[in-house]
Amino acid sequence: MIQIPQTGWDKLFISFIPADSAKATAKTTKANVRNGTCKWADPIYETTRLLQDIKTKQYDERIYKLVVTMGSSRSSVLGEANINLAHYADALKPSIVALPLQGCDSGAILHVRVSECCF
């Protein structure tokens, strides 16, 4: 993540929430903000089922919300971004995705590495 807006954002974590649910399925540990950037050492592993159309070979959308926050209150949310895991179902190697944080006026961007796994 880059360009964290102002002071006061000293430790952040990410909640991983399926779009069709209001409950996080995974969270990172809190990571320190240093010089306006933050990096998490612990990855999030999520197992999800992707349905594929037999004729078109396209996968149905599987959207997740990534919420970057300091705590559980709404005022402690830095921003959020959406990612469709179906876009990476056939990836042969990890992809780095830049996701602008919505609700964050500073232009913060969350950089996410997405890897497919075993089938």
The answer as to whether 81 is a domain residue is yes
DSSP for 62-84 reads -EEEEEEESSSSGGGEEEEEEEE
Is residue 97 within a helix (H) or strand (E), and if so which, with residue range?
strand 95-100
Give the chain's domain count: 1
pTM: 0.84
The answer as to whether 99 is a domain residue is yes
The answer as to whether 71 is a domain residue is yes
- Quick: pLDDT tens for 89-119: 877 788 889 999 998 877 888 998 887 654 4
Range of the domain at 26: 11-44+56-114
- Quick: pLDDT tens for 48-97: 888 888 999 888 999 999 999 987 666 788 899 999 988 888 777 888 89
